[in-house]
């Protein structure tokens, strides 16, 4: 019986269930080619009385206050029936239930996936981004989980909520035309990204136009109340930690990189302007770099799913700004290289004046991977637009690949 004192609904006949599924599929947008049909399937599966407990280990905690939440811990979400979606929503639920903010969210046992959100990056970090109950978004990757607030800060008829330091979600349930970054979208959930500068992120410098209700700067979306790292074996790097230990800890034990023996692929010795670094790989499915820093090793990595070693493409990149060194920036690029690539360089694009000269540096190649590190000044010898390229050479000719 339920709250209306009605008996449970009988199971749907197979042909009725199939017709209902097709109807939902036909009206569902395709946010992610491989998973879109499964979102529709979730709408059907969740009508069934399915209750399966999935054990998810969450080693992280939210980064804000840690007072006890008033709301008791809820049970797991109903099973969806797809490995990707089930893993993601259960990690989100574990993060919320372990958080002091859990009273701000619907009980996890009542969660349902309403959309798989289109990302504005391709294959970056793996994982999946889910809209849950039509009211908040949870982003998962091979390292951690980020959960927005329920709803966000108003900008006309839409709302914005922080997803990370440099990303926000636009909640647009009415599917109004929303223009940002010279793109117009009517998606119910839209992710916007900004490249942090030396002084952090300034969303107010970006313009947001909501058809008929708002035309102005993007409101400060705030930070996600829950941001945890639940897939690192040894936690944060520590000063003096060997690079080998950093790489082993940063290679995630998920489906993107099953627990197998990690392989140390290449080592780049310290140079005049860049620290020593090490690159590791596991099962041919994930690659990670670590380099020395006064505060402890710094790591980054991504799945090789979209970057096989037979292709030349960027796997991941990072720009690390330091106020201790003036306008210093360290740019790190990890990439795959095809067998016919002879060498790779990284170089800032020349500015309008010859002085200061744009910096450049050779990259280290080994076994289908390349690590590129470039230190410069921004603004200074790196242009105001931050333009930097990696240059793979084949038969003496280079084809520039812009660094994100």
Query: DSSP assignment of 183-215, as one string?
Result: EEE--SEEEEE---BTTB--GGGSEEEETTTEE
- Please report, rounded to a whole number, the percentage of residues in the chain having pLDDT higher than 90: 42
**Is residue 232 in some structural domain?**
no
Residue 399 has pLDDT above 60, yes or no: yes
Q: What is the CA radius of gyration of the chain?
A: 23
Higher pLDDT, residue 386 or 143: 386
Query: Which of 142-151, 319-328, 372-381 is the least confident region?
Result: 319-328
Average pLDDT over residues 326-349: 91
Confidence of residue 236 (pLDDT cuts 50, 70, 90): low
Segment 73-87 shows an average pLDDT of: 87
Q: Per-residue DSSP letters for 337-350? A: --TT--EEEEEEPP
**219 and 341 housed in the same domain:** no
Please, are residues 41 and 21 in contact by the beta-carbon 8 Å criterion?
A: yes
Give bridge partners of residue 164 from the DSSP assignment: 167
Total domain count for the chain? 2
Distance, C-alpha 391 to centroid of its chain:
26
Note whether residue 8 is domain-resident: no
| Same-domain check for residues 154 and 273 | no
Mean pLDDT in residue range 62-88: 71
Task: Report which of 358, 344, 348, 334 is spatially closest to residue 286, judged by C-alpha positions.
Answer: 334
* Three-point CA angle 374, 380, 382, nearest 5°: 40
Same-domain check for residues 343 and 384:
yes
- pLDDT band of residue 351 (cuts 50, 70, 90) is confident
Phi, psi for 379 (deg, rounded to 5) = -75, 155
7 in any annotated domain: no
Task: Look at residue 89 and tell me whether its pLDDT is greater than 90.
Answer: yes
- pLDDT reading at 62 higher than 60: no
What does the DSSP 8-state code read for residue 289? E
6 within some domain: no
Pick from 251, 254, 253, 250: nearest CA to 237: 250
State which residues form the domain around 129. 14-226
Contact 228, 164 (CB under 8 A): no
Which helix (H) or strand (E) is 19 found in, with range?
Answer: helix 14-26
Q: What residues are paired with 210 via a beta bridge?
A: 178, 214
In angstroms, the CA 40 to CA 274 distance is 49
Pair 174, 133 in one domain: yes
172-189: average pLDDT: 92
- What DSSP character marks residue 31? S
More confident residue, 172 or 64: 172
- Name which of 77-81, 121-125, 193-197, 392-396 the model is least confident about: 121-125
213 and 243 inside one domain: no
What distance in Å separates the CA atoms of residue 168 and residue 193, rounded to the nearest whole number? 7
Output the pLDDT for position 71.
Answer: 58
**CA pair distance 138, 146, nearest whole angstrom:** 6
At which of 205, 226, 247 does a domain end? 226
| Model confidence at 306: pLDDT above 70 | no
pTM for the full model?
0.51
- Residue 100 predicted with pLDDT over 60: yes
Note whether 194 and 48 are same-domain residues: yes
Q: What per-residue confidence (pLDDT) applies to 193?
A: 84
Whole-number pLDDT of residue 296: 82
Cβ atoms of 289 and 371 closer than 8 Å: yes
pLDDT score, position 184: 92
Q: How far apart are CA 135 and CA 173, in angstroms?
A: 9
Q: Give the per-residue pLDDT at 252.
A: 61
* In a shared domain, residues 182 and 248: no
The whole-angstrom separation of Cα 404 and Cα 392 is 16
């Amino acid at each position: 019986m339920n709250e209306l004192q009605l008996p449970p609904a009988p199971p749907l006949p197979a042909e009725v269930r199939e017709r209902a599924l097709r109807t939902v599929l036909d009206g569902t947008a395709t946010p992610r080619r491989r998973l879109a049909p499964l979102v529709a399937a979730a709408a059907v599966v969740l009508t069934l009385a399915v209750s399966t407990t999935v054990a998810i280990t969450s080693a992280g905690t939210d980064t804000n206050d840690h007072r006890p939440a008033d709301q008791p811990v809820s049970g797991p979400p109903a099973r969806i029936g797809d490995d990707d979606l089930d893993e993601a929503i259960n990690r989100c639920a574990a993060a919320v239930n372990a958080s002091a903010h859990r009273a701000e969210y619907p009980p996890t046992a009542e969660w349902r996936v309403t959309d798989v959100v289109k990302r504005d990056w391709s294959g970056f970090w793996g994982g999946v981004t889910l809209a849950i109950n039509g009211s908040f978004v949870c982003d998962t990757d091979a390292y951690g989980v980020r959960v927005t607030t329920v709803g966000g800060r108003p900008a006309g008829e839409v709302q914005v909520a922080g997803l990370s330091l440099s990303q926000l979600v636009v909640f647009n349930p009415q599917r109004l035309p929303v223009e940002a970054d010279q793109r117009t979208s009517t998606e119910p959930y839209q992710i916007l990204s900004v490249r942090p500068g030396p002084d952090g992120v300034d969303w107010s410098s970006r313009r947001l136009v909501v058809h008929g209700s708002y035309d102005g700067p993007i409101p400060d979306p705030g930070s996600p109340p829950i941001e945890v790292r639940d897939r690192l074996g040894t936690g944060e790097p520590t000063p003096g930690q060997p690079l080998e230990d950093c790489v082993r800890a940063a290679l995630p034990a998920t489906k993107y990189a099953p627990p197998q023996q990690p392989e140390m692929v290449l080592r780049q010795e310290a140079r005049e302007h860049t620290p020593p670094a090490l690159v590791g790989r596991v099962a041919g499915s994930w690659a990670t770099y670590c380099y020395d820093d006064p505060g402890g090793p710094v790591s980054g990595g991504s799945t090789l799913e979209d970057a096989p070693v037979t292709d030349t493409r960027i796997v991941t990149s990072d720009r690390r700004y330091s106020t201790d060194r003036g306008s210093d920036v360290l740019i790190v690029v990890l990439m795959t290289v095809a067998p016919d690539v002879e060498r790779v360089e990284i170089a800032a694009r020349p500015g309008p004046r010859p002085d200061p000269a744009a910096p450049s540096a050779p990259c280290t190649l080994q076994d289908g991977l390349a690590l590129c590190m470039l230190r410069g000044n921004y603004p200074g010898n790196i242009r105001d637009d931050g333009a930097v390229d990696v240059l793979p050479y084949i038969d003496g000719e280079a084809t520039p690949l812009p660094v994100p």
